[in-house]
Chains A and B, each alone.
Chain A
Amino acid sequence: NAGVMQNPRHLVRRRGQEARLRCSPMKGHSHVYWYRQLPEEGLKFMVYLQKENIIDESGMPKERFSAEFPKEGPSILRIQQVVRGDSAAYFCASSQGARGLGTEAFFGQGTRLTVV
């Protein structure tokens, strides 16, 4: 059973371009979470999704950021018109049960986005 798979591992984008980050949860997991980690800081929650539904996007910036988790395929975090401040490591986690049920979350290796 492969773990949470994120790709790409490293992504370089010029200011104004779009960044698309992908996350395939562990087999059997239908709950996905996205976190952002700025250098020398802890992880900040962005969004929690179930298949085809956004459950909680309270940590997501209101503009330029969007996330989806379609019925088929990976979860996608999309950042439009990237700016230098978007440079960070973006981590995806998945769990078998719903958030708040005490289930364990497993994290991917992250995508390191650099905006030049």
Chain B
Amino acid sequence: KQEVTQIPAALSVPEGENLVLNCSFTDSAIYNLQWFRQDPGKGLTSLLLIQSSQREQTSGRLNASLDKSSGRSTLYIAASQPGDSATYLCAVSSNDMRFGAGTRLTVKP
């Protein structure tokens, strides 16, 4: 059974810092991995989708990497802004889509 873990559970940084969020999964037989953003009381917004054959994807200040063999993905956020404050979820798709518990990010002005 696929288990998805996200570390840290919460992170607080000053504005402008670069930061890394981590996601690990136990079964490397995956089809893709998605990073989502969730604002309080809101739905999920897809940020990046990495197919199993890919090693990274970039969108603006976001870069996600995937190391399938070691069961790890990282989400790198460059030059963080207060508007980046949210919970970031990673989801791994194999026979189903399983989510980590998320990392709650706070970027202080």
Check B97 against A99 for contact (C-beta < 8 Å). yes
29 inter-chain pairs at a CB distance below 8 angstroms, sorted by A residue, are A41-B101, A42-B89, A42-B100, A42-B101, A42-B102, A43-B44, A43-B91, A45-B97, A58-B96, A59-B96, A91-B43, A91-B44, A99-B95, A100-B93, A100-B94, A101-B31, A102-B52, A102-B93, A104-B32, A104-B34, A105-B34, A105-B46, A105-B97, A107-B36, A107-B43, A107-B45, A107-B46, A109-B43, A110-B42
A contact residues around B36 at 8 Å (CB): 107
A106 at the interface (CB under 8 A from B): yes
B contact residues around A56 at 8 Å (CB): 95-96
B99 at the interface (CB under 8 A from A): yes
Check B49 against A104 for contact (C-beta < 8 Å). yes
A-B contact sample (7 more), CB < 8 A, given A43-B89, A59-B96:
A42-B100, A48-B96, A91-B43, A91-B44, A99-B97, A100-B94, A105-B34
CA distance A100 to B51 in the complex (A): 11
CB distance from B3 to the nearest CB of A (A): 11
A interface footprint on B45-71 (CB within 8 Å = 1, 0 otherwise): 110010110000000000000000000
A33 at the interface (CB under 8 A from B): yes
Inter-chain residue pair count (beta carbon < 8 A): 62
Smallest CB gap from B89: residue in A = A42
Q: Which residues of B contact A (CB under 8 A)?
A: 4, 31-32, 34, 36, 41-46, 49, 51-52, 89, 91, 93-102
Classify chain A's interface size: 20 to 34
Check B44 against A100 for contact (C-beta < 8 Å). no
Contact of B46 among A48, A106, A112 (CB under 8 A): A106
Check B43 against A110 for contact (C-beta < 8 Å). yes
